[in-house]
Structure 1
Amino acid sequence: MLEQLQRDGVLRVSDLTDALGASTVTIRRDIAQLASEGLVRRVHGGVALPDGGSERDDPDTSTIGMLVPSLDYYWPHVARGAEEAARELDLRIVLRGSSYETEDDRPQLARLVDQGVDALIAAPRMDVPTAQRTIEWLAGLGIPVVLLERTATAGPHHAHLESVVTDHAQGAGMAVRHLTGLGHTRVGVVLASASPTRPHVRRGWLEAATELGLDVSDTVDTTVPDARSPDCRTAVDKALDRALATGTTALLVHADAEAITLVQRCEERRIAVPGDLSVIAYDDEVAGLFSPALTAVRPPRRSIGRAAVRLTADRLADPRRPTHRLVISPSLRIRDSVARPR
């Protein structure tokens, strides 16, 4: 590689894979090693000698590949935040959408790498058998990788990958504390079963309730199918039956669609919201548009995207900096669906 650089000055990764008969991952790993030794400079899509510039390492051509699991809920706000930060830093985002049903995100990530991106921002699925193999592969790419709303470790020493996440547990705790501040002593939780955010929200609910001395053994603690599922209505009815039987007067519901389904079912069953049952939604995508407008925990979606791009840019500028893991707090938006218990 160094011999070819002495001759040509700048080389693309694709040129090196053809010339040396090595994989893209191997070439990028070697470039990272040589760059850490000060022997080469990374440039967009390739490598150059450390002395002398080239139009290819102009910062406005640096490209970040970004893979998110959805382009129609939650993640568009994250992507817009990333685009805003990229424009400010003269970077370019190549956005790709995956799916919560995808068993393996690696093929899409590999295509981004093959296109010559300089870094990756990704929210891979962590609940599939291929998850750890994908994480190990990402850790060995030789380019900056930042996880979005995910945390993971790789290698024999379980080194952390860089990440930006929302403190969902804190958000749930804020909701519980607001409800107890109004006088509620039985606060339950209803969670969308398929959401990767579910365990964090439940943990925050449980920790806050325990700290506040609430009895969670005799309240609502359940999951429901996606609001689009025909089984969701039945599951919501069971949750409401449990609330009535246990004297539960407030519920934290993730996500918005499931919260709206629950409140609509309350109307049909003549359960007054917030008179008989206070409800706080978690996500705040459309909670404020409903009637009554739902009090909701709002994750910092746009800030998450912005922070991920800035973290990536810092890593591109200084490959030797320590690993950074950022945690950003959500906010609580008070609206019309909570009140003091009767």
Structure 2
Amino acid sequence: MLPAERRARVVELLRRDGVVRVHELAVRLGVSAITVRRDITRLAREGVVRRVHGGATLELPATAPTSGGRASGAVTGAVVGLVVPSLVYYWPDVVRGVREAADELGLRVVLRGAGYAPDDELRQLGALVDSVGVDGLLVAPTTTGSQGAALVRWLRSAEVPVVLLERDSGDPGLGLLESVVSDHRLGAASAVRHLAELGHRRIGLCASASSPTAPHLRRGWRRACDELGLELDGVPEVTTCDHRDPDWSRQLDALLDRCRESGTTALLVHSDPEALALVQRCQERGIVVPGALSVVTYDDEMAELCDPPLTAVRPPKAAVGRAAVALLAARLRAAGGRPVHRVVVQPELITRGSSAEPAPVG
């Protein structure tokens, strides 16, 4: 049976039975379940059918009202799978943006958390496609290591549209995948410029080794320092362990010692827990913030609760979620020929009490 004939047969069975399951179709048509899912995906993109849990049903006419009172189009009623690496830090605001945009379009979101583990991410994504029957995926994947490479290969060959969250599809390894990212390089640069305008000439960087954001922050920090002619010789540029790691206290003291020895008067710290711990350690050691050391944190999840409240760079987390839904909806509507889109959203600098002019020398 030719592919076009096979898809016509799928539509015929839907008209007769109302709803069909992937495995039932595979048996009837004598093909694999993967082939059936690809046929359903194509028919769904053409607006002929609608994917449901484990199978498909005929799409409602565009003029027919849905149960929520909306007119059903090519997107309304679609199911979106959302996989994020954390449900407790940074990502809740992204999820909120996704939910708000999905509600406006009449989409249903199925959320999964995967804990920065590529094998778990792959398992969750496979279940969303094969068992839940989602129409598209929003995901912040781990892309490093052999497991990350396997996950990227899976995403590039996925049967449904994929939009990356806070992962740059400009990386050749990610292929032609749509993406929405915060411009972390610009965010880091804005922190450096703020501190330089206050008069700081030696501005250090403390980035978390476990975060995929760290390389972008480092590039933005270094580029801004170069453009502003700031001194880098001896200035701390450190990658630290997680603040919960047993070695964190030692690394923190070593960083503060390097600031004192090098005459560094300001630090950009990623992320908020590390910045809060650093300020607390400064207080224990009699280092006045911002008098002796100005601190700018990156993320702004809990920065205003510090004493003093921390100046922070705030990535547009909810806006990233909303933009990702808009990209996915546009991809679901497109019958073909739509170019790959990469959306970059600008972070915001929030000035608070942890940054000030450097103390006079002597």
Contact 1:224 1:235 in 2 (8 A): yes
Answering whether residue 305 of structure 2 is matched by residue 295 of structure 1, we say no
Answering whether residue 205 of structure 2 is matched by residue 221 of structure 1, we say no
The match for 1:30 among 39, 42, 60 is 39
Unaligned runs of 5+ in 1: none
The match for 1:232 among 245, 248, 267 is 248
Aligned mates of 1:41, 1:305 — CA distance in 2: 28
1:121 is matched by which residue type in structure 2?
L
Shift of residue 110, structure 1, vs aligned partner: 0.5
2:113 is matched by which residue type in structure 1?
G
Deviation by residue 1:238-265 (Cα, 9 ceiling, x = unmatched): 1111110100000000000000111111
Corresponding residue for 1:270?
Answer: 286
Shift of residue 62, structure 1, vs aligned partner: 1.2
The match for 2:50 among 35, 43, 64 is 43
Deviation by residue 1:115-149 (Cα, 9 ceiling, x = unmatched): 11111101111123122322222232232110101
1:27 is matched by which residue type in structure 2?
V
Corresponding residue for 1:194?
Answer: 210
Alpha-carbon RMSD: 2.6
Corresponding residue for 2:351?
Answer: 334
CA 221–229 in structure 1, closer or farther in 2 if over 3 Å, else same: same
Unaligned runs of 5+ in 2: 1-5
2:11 is matched by which residue type in structure 1?
L
Shift of residue 14, structure 1, vs aligned partner: 4.8
SS for the counterpart of 2:212 is coil
Of the structure 1 ranges 330-339 and 138-147, higher mean CA displacement relative to structure 2 is found in: 138-147
Contact 2:164 2:177 in 1 (8 A): yes
Corresponding residue for 1:8?
Answer: 14
Corresponding residue for 2:3?
Answer: none
Corresponding residue for 2:328?
Answer: 312
Q: How does 1:1-342 map to 2 (within 5 A)?
A: 1=6, 2-9=8-15, 11-20=20-29, 22-33=31-42, 41-45=48-52, 46=55, 59-114=75-130, 115-152=132-169, 159-320=175-336, 321-342=338-359
Contact 1:14 1:24 in 2 (8 A): yes
SS for the counterpart of 2:146 is coil
2:80 is matched by which residue type in structure 1?
I
CA 248–155 in structure 1, closer or farther in 2 if over 3 Å, else same: closer
SS for the counterpart of 1:262 is helix
Aligned mates of 1:224, 1:272 — CA distance in 2: 22
Deviation by residue 1:259-291 (Cα, 9 ceiling, x = unmatched): 011111111111110000000000100011111
CA 4–281 in structure 1, closer or farther in 2 if over 3 Å, else same: closer
SS for the counterpart of 1:44 is strand
Aligned mates of 1:332, 1:155 — CA distance in 2: 30
CA 268–52 in structure 1, closer or farther in 2 if over 3 Å, else same: closer
Aligned mates of 1:87, 1:35 — CA distance in 2: 20
2:159 is matched by which residue type in structure 1?
G
Aligned mates of 2:82, 2:34 — CA distance in 1: 18
Aligned mates of 2:245, 2:171 — CA distance in 1: 36
Q: Quote the sequence identity (%).
A: 47
Contact 1:78 1:303 in 2 (8 A): yes
Contact 2:14 2:58 in 1 (8 A): no
Q: Normalised by the size of structure 1, how large is the TM-score?
A: 0.91
1:329 is matched by which residue type in structure 2?
Q
Of the structure 1 ranges 247-256 and 229-238, higher mean CA displacement relative to structure 2 is found in: 229-238
The number of residues matched between the two structures is 339
Q: Normalised by the size of structure 2, how large is the TM-score?
A: 0.86
Deviation by residue 1:172-202 (Cα, 9 ceiling, x = unmatched): 0000000000110000000111111111111
SS for the counterpart of 1:84 is helix
Contact 1:104 1:125 in 2 (8 A): no
